[in-house]
Amino acid sequence: MIGISADFDPVHKGHASLIGKAREIADEKGDEVVIYLNKGYSANHAPFFVSFEGRSKMALEAGADRIVPIEGLHHRLTMSYTVPIRIAMMIQDGVTDYVDAAEVNPSQIKKYAARFIRRGIFSGIPRNLPNRNVIRWYAVNEFLYKRFNRKMEFHFIPEGKVNGEKISGRQIRGEILENNLRIPGSVKKLLPKSTVRILEEEIKKGTVPETRDMDTLLKRLNTTSRHHLLNTAHLNAEAVEHIIQGRWYQAENQVWASLRQAGYGPVLSRLALSCVEEDVTRREIYELIQDYEKQGIIPPDQTVERVIERDWFVASMVETDLTSSEAHEKFLNGARTKDKPLYTFDAGLHLRSFELPKLEEGLKAYLYVDKRGVLACELKTKEGKVKSPLKLPGKMATYLRLLVDSQIIPLEGELVKKKRGWRIRLNVG
């Protein structure tokens, strides 16, 4: 099988060239061209412009033999996780050759990828590297060879260009929207005739563009409690604070402004909004990653255990002169603490005398970070809510805050009675 993994939103002439190259290889080998087509959400975590059915027709008319839908990943996981999962799926399906486009020489792709293969780290690939996503695909394909004892052979073609300019799917979609869903001549010259025809049919049916469920999204952003938002995947404490400060939302761009204030870029903002829209929890992500870990698909640096271990190491450096970024770099270079991360520990509470009779052992404690940036919890008793900041020594407070800001590690708390009073027993993962 000759494989391509893509959004194809819509199929343009650059994509048609990819399929053409795959067709050429397939015909030589007497094989088929299979498109692993993203469904539901794009690789960049956004709703699609063209429906899955429309994009499938475009790819088939451009020369593909078969479409395999990829769904359930891109509203949950970052690309550093979805790429290994997709490559593993293709290898297991029997894909032998993979076709992609790159603006740099294939030897350069291999050279750049070698650095990440050597370290076994495939996340955090610098943005200034050309074709960084192609580099990630090539590197992860090499990594998974150890797991499957086979890998895909990569074939690169130049990126699609018209009159010397790279064809941009984002620009194509933008021009169609600006032209009131009519395809202007400037866009038609970038598309195969079959794509133009199918796209016009989709527009006529009213399926273009696909959009978010804004009623659900805005309701959740406007009404969800602080602790529930913090339990949503890919939202850290600062993002939750800015979301709450920015209420009342009436449009998506207002939410983007709040996330931008929290330091979120476009890709992470789209992923965070998709998680809110679909009510994706940290627990769901944690268990999903663990499931793929058991299959040997997730690179060691990206396992949930390694994320927790890294947070423990950085917290342990609180008493030294190292900054968090310096401690993180030291961890990446192999430094470790002698002691193992704690997965269960207790935190003290600040309780008022009239609150004590309300408490019962075993009450669930909902963790959050208050507007002052203080780690706190909320207890829902029969007589009402009890809120309290958490009391922890410096290292443990830093550890807990790093876990909170991990965006994927679930944290649970329970009220326990100790000889010296009430405590919150915190469980990690």
Residue range 402-427: mean pLDDT, rounded: 97
Identify whether 293 is part of a domain.
no
Its pTM stands at 0.94
Residue 135: predicted pLDDT: 94
Identify whether 79 is part of a domain.
yes
Tell me the residue range of the domain where 229 lies.
Answer: 214-280
Distance (Å, whole) CA 403 – CA 311? 7
In a shared domain, residues 227 and 199: no
Model confidence pLDDT, tens digit, residues 367-380: 999 999 999 999 99
Structure-derived torsion over alpha carbons of residues 280, 284, 290, 294, reported in degrees to the nearest 10: -100
Identify whether 291 is part of a domain.
no
User: How confident is residue 337, by pLDDT bands cut at 50, 70 and 90?
Assistant: very high
Residue 74: predicted pLDDT: 98
In the predicted structure, residue 122 carries a pLDDT above the cut 90: no
Model confidence pLDDT, tens digit, residues 238-288: 999 999 999 999 999 999 999 999 999 999 999 999 999 999 999 999 999
In a shared domain, residues 313 and 374: yes
Distance (Å, whole) CA 80 – CA 137? 10
In a shared domain, residues 141 and 188: yes
Tell me the CA distances in angstroms from 231 to 228, 257, 306, one per residue in order. 5, 21, 20
By the 8 A CB rule, do 337 and 316 touch?
Answer: yes
Residue 309: predicted pLDDT: 98
Q: Which of 174, 205, 236 finishes a domain? A: 205
In a shared domain, residues 158 and 231: no
Distance (Å, whole) CA 390 – CA 383? 21
Per the structure block, which two tokens stand in for 291? Answer: 């499931």
Residue 191: predicted pLDDT: 98
Residue 420: predicted pLDDT: 87
User: How confident is residue 66, by pLDDT bands cut at 50, 70 and 90?
Assistant: very high
In a shared domain, residues 347 and 201: no
Contacts of range 294-298, beta carbons closer than 8 Å, 24 or more positions apart: 295/88, 296/147, 297/84, 297/85, 297/88, 297/144, 297/147, 298/81, 298/84
In a shared domain, residues 197 and 219: no
By the 8 A CB rule, do 377 and 365 touch?
Answer: yes
Distance (Å, whole) CA 257 – CA 300? 35
Q: Which of 248, 280, 312 finishes a domain? A: 280
In a shared domain, residues 256 and 195: no
In a shared domain, residues 147 and 242: no
In a shared domain, residues 55 and 201: yes
Residue 155: predicted pLDDT: 96
In the predicted structure, residue 425 carries a pLDDT above the cut 90: yes
Domain count, the chain: 3
In a shared domain, residues 168 and 258: no
What's the farthest any 2 CA atoms get from each other in the chain?
81
Q: Which residues pair with 341 in a beta bridge?
A: none
In a shared domain, residues 331 and 416: yes
Identify whether 384 is part of a domain.
yes
In a shared domain, residues 120 and 83: yes
Identify whether 286 is part of a domain.
no
Looking at residue 22, which CATH number applies to its domain? 3.40.50.620
Contacts of range 57-61, beta carbons closer than 8 Å, 24 or more positions apart: 57/198, 58/8, 58/10, 58/11, 58/192, 58/194, 58/195, 58/198, 58/199, 59/8, 59/11, 59/15, 59/19, 59/35, 61/192, 61/194, 61/195, 61/198
